[in-house]
Amino acid sequence: RKEVEQDPGPFNVPEGATVAFNCTYSNSASQSFFWYRQDCRKEPKLLMSVYSSGNEDGRFTAQLNRASQYISLLIRDSKLSDSATYLCVVNGSGAGSYQLTFGKGTKLSVIP
């Protein structure tokens, strides 16, 4: 099982749609979870951290299910500017706990 696996994508959705991305991770000792966003030919940027209780930031909602080792990202009312690749990120364990492992990313295209 890959360390961090994401929906294969790409997701092509119309403006205004709600879209959800899923991610599973293999390391049960991981304690930190993030969603990063990467625009085409640009660097990754933190979108939001993911907390056990779930958290929301405007149109974006992140959920964590530790028992299933599953993370999700929900985007409501999609905008054209949301088009990007979304990277699921978790930290390692033990000596590598500050080391981040990135998923391959899910590409989202929001179409007018």
Partner 1 sequence: DTAVSQTPKYLVTQMGNDKSIKCEQNLGHDTMYWYKQDSKKFLKIMFSYNNKELIINETVPNRFSPKSPDKAHLNLHINSLELGDSAVYFCASSQVASYTDTQYFGPGTRLTVL
- Is residue 99 a contact residue for partner 1 (CB under 8 A)? yes
Q: Site map for partner 1, 50-79, x if CB under 8 A?
A: ------------------------------
Separation of alpha carbons 88 and 35, rounded Å? 5
Element containing residue 13 per DSSP (H, E): strand 11-14
Task: Select the residue interacting with partner 1 from 64, 85, 86, 88 (CB under 8 A).
Answer: 85
Task: Select the residue interacting with partner 1 from 19, 55, 76, 92 (CB under 8 A).
Answer: 92
Residues 36-55 contacting partner 1, CB under 8 A: 41-46, 49
Task: Select the residue interacting with partner 1 from 32, 55, 69, 109 (CB under 8 A).
Answer: 32
| CA distance to 12, 26, 54, 81, per residue, from 38 (Å) | 16, 23, 22, 12
Residue carrying the six token digits 């099982």 = 1
Backbone Cα Rg of the chain: 14
Task: Quote the least distance from Cβ 81 to partner 1, whole Å.
Answer: 19
- Tell me whether residue 96 is exposed, middle or buried, using C-beta atoms within 10 angstroms of its C-beta: 0 to 12, 13 to 18, 19 or more: exposed
Separation of alpha carbons 21 and 103, rounded Å? 12
- Is residue 83 a contact residue for partner 1 (CB under 8 A)? no
Q: Which residues bind partner 1 (CB under 8 A)?
A: 31-32, 34, 41-46, 49, 85, 87, 91-92, 96-102, 104-105
